[in-house]
Amino acid sequence: MRTHGTYLYRDARRLSDGRLVPAHWRMTIEPAVRARARRVFSRVQPTRSSAIIVSATKESARDLLWLMERWPLDPEDERSRLRLGADAADHREQEEQVQLILAGEYRRPEFAHTPTKAARDYQLTAVDLLRARQVQLLADEVGLGKTYTSLLNLVNPDALPAVVIAPTHLPRRWATELDESFPWLTYEIAKKTTPSPRAATGNFADVTIMSYSKLAGWAPYLAGHMSSVIFDEAQELRHGVSTDKGRAAAQLTEHATFVVGATATPVYNYGGELFNIVDILRKGELGTKEEFTREWGAMQMSNDRMTVGNPAALGAHLRDSGLMIGRTRKQVGRELPKTVKNVHTVDVDPTALEEVAKDARRLAELILSSTATSKERFEAAGEIDWKVRQATGVAKAPYVAEFVRLLLNSEDRLVVWGWHRDVYNIWMEALADFHPRLYTGTESPKQKAEAEDAFTAPLTGENDCRILIMSLRSGAGVDGLQKAARVGVFGELDWSPQVHEQAIGRLRRDGMGDDPPVVYFLVSDEGSDPALMDVLQLKRQQAEPIVSPDGKLLTNSTTDPHRARRLAESILGITPTQEAAS
C-alpha cells in the first residue's frame, strides 16, 4: 500500500530558556496531502519546514487516525504507532460514554456511600460525566446546587483525598455542606497561609478546604497527593498561570485524577478566558494558546486578553465533548421567575466630577494620543478608570441613598451593590437609621458572616438591619439572602455583565418567594456610566453564547480591551473609534 509520509510522537520537554514544549505529533507529509491535512487540523502550528506539528491529545490522535484512513502514513518508530492506537482508542471510548450519558442511556454504577441529601438526576449526570472525562467545567445556572454537585463524586473512595479552593468568604459554606450531606467525610479548613502540622506531614483529612489566598502556600504540600481538586467560582483562574494562584492551581491539578471548576460565569469578560481556566484544569485540553487562537478565531487584545471569533461554536464543542456542562433552571425543571430589571437615571452632585475633570481630560488625551508610549497609555488607562469611576460613584451616592430610602417605604429589606469605599461611607451615613451592614472586600470572613446573619435575622423592630451593602465582586456563592430580600440596587456598575448576574443570583435562587426579584440599575448621564453601559452590551456578545445551550444571548441577562479608550472618548465627547466599536 502506498503511504504519503510519516508521523512521530514526541514527549513534552523544557527548553534551556525555561519554555515548555508540549507533547506533540510531528507529521512529515508529501505536499499535496499536507495542504489537505492542514485543513483537518485547524489548530496546526505553522512551520517553515514540510512538517505539520499539532499538540498530542487524545482528540488529535483520533483525527490523525481518521486522516490516515485516506492517506496512510508510516510511524517513524514502534512507540509512536502504539501511542497513536492507544490514544485514539481512549478518545473513542470516552466519546461513546459521554454521548450515552448525555442521551440518558448510561447505566450508572452504585455509589460507595449514600449522601444524606438525595441527589437530583441532573446532578448525578454531572458526576457521570466527570468520571468519564476526569475534568469538568461545571457551569450550571446560579442556584442549582454546584457545591453539592461538586462534592458528589467524593462518595467514591478513588476520589479521596480532595481539596476545595474557594473565595475567602465561602469555606464555611463548603464545611456546612459536608456536615449536612456527607457526614462520614473528615475535613480541615486552612487557617493560615502555610500548611497545618497535620497537612505538612501528609496526614490529610478526606477534604481540605481553603481560600484562593492560601493556595500558593499549601500547593507544594498537596500536589501529587490529592485525587480530586475542586475550584469554586473557577472564574478566579481566568488570568491563567500569569498569577501566583494560577500557577499554584496548575501545580495541584497536574497529578490529580478528578478536577472540577465550578462557576455560573465561566466567562467574565472575553471568550479567551475559557482557555486559561481549562488549561489549568487539564493542561493541553484545548491545545496550546496559539493553537486555541487559530482553531477558534481568537483575537489577541491588550493586557493578554482574547476574544473568540465564534463563541457559540466553542460553547457547543465544550458541551458536546462533555468537558463543560451547564444547565439552566428551565432545562432541569426548577425555573424561577425572571428578574425584573429597571434602569433609572439619577442626578449627580457635580462637585465630585468637577474635581477630577481636569485630570480626566489630561488622561483621556494621553490615552488617545498617537505619540504616547504604550507604558504611558497603560498607566493612564488604569488611573482614568479608578478616578472617574470613583468620582461618578461619589457624585451619584446621595441620590442613590435617596432612591434606596424611597424603596424602603414598601420593602422590608434590600441589597445595594457598589465598588468604592468612599461611596459606601456616604451610603452608611445617609442610611444609618436603617442599620446597614457591609459585605465588601475589606471585611474579614467573620465580619461578613456577622453581616449576613444580621441581614437575614427576623425583624424585631429594634436595630434591624434592613440594608446589606455588598461589593460588586465579593458576594459570589452567598446563599440565604433570597429569604430576606427580593429587591437589589446597583448604585455603581462593573465593567463585566457577569458580575451583575452573579450579584442578582444572590436574590434569584431556591428559597425566594413567589414574586420575581427586582433590581434597579441607577445610572447617570455623566462620568463613567455612559461608557460602562455601552461596554456591558458589547461583552454580552462574548460571554453568553458560550454558556447558553442554544448559543444565543441569555434572556435573563443584561464584558473590551478598549474600555479605557471608550471612557476617554466619552469624557472628551467624541465619536467612538472604529477599533473600539469593533
* pLDDT tens digits, 364-417: 776 677 777 777 776 777 777 778 888 899 999 999 999 999 999 889 999 999
Predicted local distance difference test score (pLDDT) of residue 560: 43
Q: In a 3-state reduction of DSSP, which class is residue 378? A: helix
Predicted local distance difference test score (pLDDT) of residue 547: 62
Round the average pLDDT of the chain to a whole number and report it.
85
Predicted local distance difference test score (pLDDT) of residue 574: 60
297 has pLDDT over 80 = no
- Global pTM value: 0.70
Answer for the pair 23, 9: CB distance below 8 angstroms, yes or no. Answer: yes
Answer for the pair 415, 481: CB distance below 8 angstroms, yes or no. Answer: yes
Answer for the pair 41, 49: CB distance below 8 angstroms, yes or no. Answer: no
Q: What is the pLDDT of residues 129-154, one digit of tens each?
A: 999 999 999 999 877 889 999 999 99
Which ranges in the chain are annotated with CATH 3.40.50.300? 340-581
555 has pLDDT over 50 = no
Task: Round to whole Å and give the CA distance between 197 and 207.
Answer: 16
- What the block records as the C-alpha cell of 231 is 475550584
Q: What is the pLDDT of residues 2-49, one digit of tens each?
A: 899 999 999 988 888 777 788 899 999 988 888 888 877 777 766 666
Q: What is the pLDDT of residues 327-362, one digit of tens each?
A: 888 888 877 777 888 888 888 888 888 887 777 777
Q: What is the CATH architecture assignment of 340-581?
A: 3-Layer(aba) Sandwich (3.40)
Higher confidence at residue 571 or residue 444?
A: 444
Task: Round to whole Å and give the CA distance between 43 and 290.
Answer: 8
Task: Round to whole Å and give the CA distance between 360 and 22.
Answer: 46
Q: What is the pLDDT of residues 54-80, one digit of tens each?
A: 889 899 999 999 999 999 999 999 999
What share of the chain has pLDDT > 90, as a percent? 46
Listed ranges 214-218, 288-292, 550-554; the one with the highest mean pLDDT: 214-218
Measuring CA to CA, which residue among 42, 81, 39 is closest to residue 59? Answer: 42
578 has pLDDT over 80 = no
Answer for the pair 7, 75: CB distance below 8 angstroms, yes or no. Answer: yes
Give the range among 23-37, 230-244, 472-486, 525-539 with minimum mean pLDDT: 525-539
Answer for the pair 469, 428: CB distance below 8 angstroms, yes or no. Answer: yes
554 has pLDDT over 50 = no
300 has pLDDT over 80 = no
Topology adopted by domain 111-325: Rossmann fold (3.40.50)
Measuring CA to CA, which residue among 155, 177, 146, 151 is closest to residue 163? Answer: 151
Which ranges in the chain are annotated with CATH 3.40.50.10810? 111-325
490 has pLDDT over 60 = yes
